[in-house]
């Protein structure tokens, strides 16, 4: 491990800026660094170091709380009823309680990424040594770790250097989590500021994880032409032994592929993945295949196709062992964070474990050595295949399914459990009469949660029936996804930096997050296509990246086959797995540093202010479900990047909404003149849940506006906003006057209509400032 005692060092930095170098250089691993950029004001910021910046944002975007529970039950004083203006026994109010739960969720998310990063870095150091050079993009990348440079003020060069960054992240998360204890922070806005801090740490850890794995495993290095790989149920050759890997931490999957390579087995076994391990292993080998996002777990396991299941960490169904057991599929657990109750066999001989798994003497094994997992998974799959083949179809036959449907009593308990309110009982009635159409339609909007089955009073295996009714749909799922490319090249940033900050590339839209979609994944693909056609830069990651790939145009092409993988207008850029999200925030940060030449090092506030006022980036987490999604979103918020979530997103308990009707909220400082200038509500919200795909698209266009847009840029952005509003919501928007600053901002083709509206609203021309929210401190130049 690298240097320790990071808490002492941080304290010193926070309170005695002059001593930063001495302390860090005397104990730090980075003593040999040769980075001459001056250190900014907040390297390794403490949990309150950026509080002023947070409160500046939160003044504009006040929390709108949507309590998902009126009670608190966190300590034995409870349960406490916090409804309205009641307080808990500890004195906490409802707003603070909501912010506290958001902070808790964000801490869980950030802890998960940080722990994942730690596990990866530790493993990779064991395998490749601490001096292994970080190389996320070869000659194309000089700013190798923009978030790390920005937050920590250090420039990591080797795997070993990343340990210090993780030391800091772990220390911060511990303090942040401590803030949620009873009788700790109780001011809602202070809690929100800590949510932002958690998000920032989350992006830091994600960056560490991804640059470590990209460097050590030679995953695509900022490569816009990363290969197209197979995705979908229908791409699997079921005549071969099939391994299924689920989770997020890729070393066991890498070892599986290495074992196959070393033993000349490539091509004879199918290695398939669900969730981000799927994404990351296809970055490692083009031969690997992705089945789909998180919601494909049940349907794929129940198909009986996998001969063995290997799980690592995060977003794995906790009942995976039960599902696998029902079909006699052995399971290998590989992470200390997810042991599944299985016996630890790490110290046993591989042959003995394989015998036990194949014979069914044990349901599975917990093995902490990825290399062993590689061998055991492959050899077990090969021996399981003939056994599985002998079995008759592992799920019901169509006739048996119809018989099951006939048992339905129309009690509707299934529908009352379904998060998407799908009309299951009606479909079940039709299926019982041999009409599968309705049930097959449900397949498209079903998120595979099997809550319906849990609720069914007749124990009908509803989800299995949905799959059977969907029949060919599932088998026809065969698409192409561009493998996660990792970071954005410096040269790409140089090329698009200008057009982005001037508004002439209308925006960057990042489709990220989980697969809890309200109406099916196709909506996400349709949004991505719409904005790629409008020449926005589209970034994708994780489950969202997969979902967008699982879509075909009329010529049978997936969006990744239609649009280039370059970070450019009209590009469709799959950065990779969840942890690759840091490359999206990193790209925004790099625009400030590479294009605008702002100092990055330990200079968070200035860079966030730059990004917020100039970079028209918008995050869309249409199916956001997890706590990680909460912390990822929070990391974007602190950089001033707004995030849109689908209707399920209101369950995150609070929005961060601007008030376009409060003119006073929308003034910025003009850095040129020192004057305060009204710039309109741009971007209007920082975190908003919307109801439909149509509303989301209008909101994306609207939230891409920034104070710095030139007239040409603003006219372009307004064209998209107005055009989408008209087409999808049916009318001209009524708030155009808030976004037009000069007559030159008005899109020429819409001039007449807009001028009429401006007249009616008594609009007056203003100026385009050099915008900043940062008040220059007195005495500073």
Residue numbers of the site for another protein (CB under 8 A)? 64-71, 81, 83-85, 94-95, 413, 416-417, 419, 421, 455, 518, 647-648, 650-651, 653, 655, 657, 659, 661, 685, 688-692, 694-695, 699, 728-731, 733-734
Shortest distance (Å) from residue 755 CB to another protein: 21
Report the partner that residue 73 touches, choosing among ligand SF4, another protein, none (CB closer than 5 to 8 A by kind).
ligand SF4
Question: Choosing among another protein, ligand SF4, none, which partner's interface includes residue 756 (Cβ < 5 to 8 Å by kind)?
Answer: none
Nearer CB in complex with another protein: 88/136: 88
Cβ distance 613 to 668 under 8 Å?
yes
- Closest CB to ligand SF4 among residues 74, 191: 74
Q: Are 389 and 360 in contact (CB under 8 A)?
A: no
Show Cβ contacts of residue 213 under 8 Å, excluding neighbours closer than 6 positions: 120, 124, 219, 250, 280, 579
Helix (H, G, I), strand (E, B) or coil at 700: helix
Question: Cβ closer to another protein: 113 or 725?
Answer: 725
Q: Which does 179 bind (CB under 5 to 8 A by kind): another protein, ligand SF4, none?
A: none
SS3 228: strand
Residue 690 interaction partner, one of ligand SF4, another protein, none, beta carbon < 5-8 Å per kind: another protein
Cis peptide preceding 79, ω within 30 of 0: yes
Smallest separation, CB 695 to ligand SF4 (Å): 22
Burial class (CB in 10 A: 0-12, 13-18, 19+), 698: buried
Tally of residues, the chain: 781
Query: Rule CB under 6 A: which residues touch ligand SF4?
Result: 72-75, 77-78, 80, 88-90, 92, 182, 408-414, 417-420, 422, 424-425, 428, 442, 446-452, 455-458, 460, 462-463
Q: What is the DSSP letter of 538?
A: E
* 85-107 per-residue burial string, b: 16 or more CB within 10 A, e: under 16: eeebebebbbbbbbbbbbbbbbb
User: Which of ligand SF4, another protein, none sits in contact with 425, Cβ below 5 to 8 A by type?
Assistant: ligand SF4
State the helix-helix crossing angle for 188-217 and 582-590, rounded to 10 degrees. Answer: 100
Task: Identify what 773 binds: another protein, ligand SF4, none; CB under 5 to 8 Å per kind.
Answer: none
Tokens of 462: 């509803």
Name which of 131 and 459 has its Cβ closer to ligand SF4. Answer: 459
Query: Tokens standing for 2?
Result: 């690298």
Minimal distance, residue 108 CB to ligand SF4, in Å: 17
Query: Dihedrals φ, ψ of 428, to 5°?
Result: -65, -40
Q: Running DSSP on this structure, what letter comes out for residue 577?
A: S
Helix (H) or strand (E) holding 482: strand 479-482
Which two three-digit tokens encode residue 678? Answer: 């009204």
> CB-based contacts of 722: which residues, under 8 Å, 6+ apart?
732, 733, 736, 747, 750, 754
Q: Of another protein, ligand SF4, none, which one sits near residue 448, judging by CB under 5 to 8 A according to partner kind?
A: ligand SF4
Contact call for residues 216 and 254 (beta carbons, < 8 A): no
Quick one: what does residue 408 bind among another protein, ligand SF4, none, with the CB cut-off 5 to 8 Å set by partner type?
A: ligand SF4
Question: Smallest distance from the beta carbon of 659 to another protein, in angstroms?
Answer: 7
Peptide linkage before 754 cis (omega within 30 of 0): no
Contact (CB, 8 A) for 273 and 481: no
77 binds, among another protein, ligand SF4, none (CB under 5 to 8 A by kind): ligand SF4
Give CA–CA dist 332/374, Å, rounded.
Answer: 10
Report which of 566, 149, 480, 611 is spatially closest to residue 575, judged by C-alpha positions. Answer: 566
State how far the Cα of 20 lies from the Cα of 17, in Å rounded to an integer. 5
Least gap, CB of 557 to ligand SF4 (angstroms): 28
Segment (H or E) for 20: helix 20-27
Minimum CB distance to another protein smaller for 85 or for 752: 85
C-beta closer to ligand SF4: residue 92 or 242: 92
Select 28 or 733, whichever has its Cβ closest to another protein: 733
- Which of 262, 691 has the CB closer to another protein? 691
Q: How far is the CB of 89 from ligand SF4 (least distance, A)?
A: 4
78 binds, among ligand SF4, another protein, none (CB under 5 to 8 A by kind): ligand SF4
C-beta of 234 vs 419, nearer to another protein? 419
**Smaller CB separation from ligand SF4, 55 or 75:** 75
> To the nearest whole angstrom, how small is the minimum distance from the Cβ of residue 456 to another protein?
12
Closer CB to another protein, residue 94 or residue 256? 94
């Amino acid at each position: 491990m690298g240097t320790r005692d990071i808490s002492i060092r941080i304290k010193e930095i926070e309170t005695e800026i002059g001593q930063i170098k001495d302390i860090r250089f005397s104990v730090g691993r980075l003593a040999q660094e040769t980075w001459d950029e001056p250190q900014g004001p907040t390297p390794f910021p403490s949990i309150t170091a950026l509080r002023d910046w947070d409160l500046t944002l939160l003044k504009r975007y006040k929390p709108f709380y949507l309590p998902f529970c009126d009670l608190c039950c966190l300590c034995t004083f409870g349960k406490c009823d916090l409804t309205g203006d009641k307080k808990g026994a500890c004195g906490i109010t409802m707003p603070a309680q909501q912010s506290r739960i958001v902070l808790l969720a964000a801490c869980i998310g950030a802890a998960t990424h940080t722990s994942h990063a730690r596990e990866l870095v530790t493993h990779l150091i064991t395998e490749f040594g601490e001096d292994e050079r970080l190389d996320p993009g070869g000659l194309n990348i000089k700013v190798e770790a923009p978030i790390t440079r920005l937050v920590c003020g250090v420039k990591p060069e080797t795997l070993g250097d990343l340990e210090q960054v993780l030391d800091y992240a772990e220390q911060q998360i511990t303090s942040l989590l401590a803030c949620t204890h009873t009788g700790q922070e109780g001011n809602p806005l202070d809690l929100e500021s800590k949510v932002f801090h958690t998000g920032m740490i989350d992006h830091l850890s994600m960056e560490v994880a991804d640059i470590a794995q990209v460097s050590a495993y030679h995953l695509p290095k900022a490569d816009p032409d990363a290969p197209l790989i197979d995705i979908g149920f229908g791409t699997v050759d079921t005549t071969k032994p099939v391994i299924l890997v689920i989770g997020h931490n890729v070393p066991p999957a890498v070892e599986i592929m290495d074992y196959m390579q070393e033993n000349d087995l490539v091509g004879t076994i199918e290695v398939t993945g669900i969730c981000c391990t799927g994404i990351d292993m296809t970055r490692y080998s083009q031969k690997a295949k992705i089945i789909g996002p998180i919601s494909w777990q049940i349907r794929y396991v129940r198909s009986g196709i996998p001969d063995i299941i290997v799980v690592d960490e995060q977003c794995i169904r906790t009942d995976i062992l039960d599902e696998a057991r029902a079909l006699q599929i052995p399971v290998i657990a590989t992470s200390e964070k997810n042991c599944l109750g299985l016996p630890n066999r790490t110290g046993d001989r591989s042959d003995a474990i394989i015998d036990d798994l194949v014979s069914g003497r044990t349901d599975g094994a917990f093995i902490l050595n990825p290399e062993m997992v590689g061998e055991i998974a492959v050899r077990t799959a090969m021996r399981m295949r003939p056994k599985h083949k002998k079995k008759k179809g592992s799920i019901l036959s169509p006739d048996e399914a119809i018989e099951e449907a006939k048992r339905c009593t129309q009690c509707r308990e299934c529908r009352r459990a379904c998060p998407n309110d799908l009309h299951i009982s009606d479909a079940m009635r039709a299926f019982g009469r041999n009409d599968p159409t309705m049930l097959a339609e449900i397949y498209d909007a079903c998120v595979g949660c099997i809550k319906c089955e849990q609720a069914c009073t007749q124990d009908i295996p509803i989800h299995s029936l949905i799959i059977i009714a969907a029949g060919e749909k599932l088998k026809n799922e065969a698409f192409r996804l561009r493998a996660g490319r990792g970071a954005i090249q410096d040269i790409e940033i140089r090329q698009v930096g200008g057009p982005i900050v001037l508004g002439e590339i209308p925006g960057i839209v990042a489709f990220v997050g989980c697969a809890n979609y309200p109406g099916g994944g196709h909506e996400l693909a349709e949004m991505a296509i719409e904005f790629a056609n409008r020449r926005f830069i589209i970034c994708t990651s994780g489950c969202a990246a997969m979902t967008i790939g699982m879509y075909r145009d009329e010529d049978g092409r997936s969006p990744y086959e239609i649009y280039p993988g370059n970070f450019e207008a009209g590009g469709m850029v799959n950065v990779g797995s969840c942890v690759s999200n840091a490359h999206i925030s990193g790209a925004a940060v790099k625009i400030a540093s590479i294009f605008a030449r702002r100092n990055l090092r330990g200079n968070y506030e200035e860079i966030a202010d730059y990004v917020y006022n100039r970079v028209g980036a918008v995050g869309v987490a249409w199916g956001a479900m997890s706590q990680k999604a909460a912390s990822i979103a929070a990391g974007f918020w602190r950089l001033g990047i707004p995030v849109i979530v689908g209707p399920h997103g209101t369950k995150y308990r609070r929005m961060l909404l601007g008030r376009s009707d409060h003119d006073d909220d929308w003034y910025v400082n003009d850095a040129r003149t020192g004057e305060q200038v009204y710039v309109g509500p741009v971007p209007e919200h920082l975190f908003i849940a919307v109801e439909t795909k149509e509303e989301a698209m209008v909101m994306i266009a609207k939230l891409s506006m920034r104070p710095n847009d030139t007239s040409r840029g603003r006219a372009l952005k307004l064209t998209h906003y107005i055009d989408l509003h008209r087409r999808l919501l049916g009318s001209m928007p009524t708030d155009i006057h808030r976004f037009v600053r000069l007559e030159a901002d008005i899109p020429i083709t819409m001039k007449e209509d807009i001028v009429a509206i401006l007249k009616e609203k008594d609009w007056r021309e203003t100026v385009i400032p050099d915008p900043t929210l940062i008040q220059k401190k007195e005495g500073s130049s």
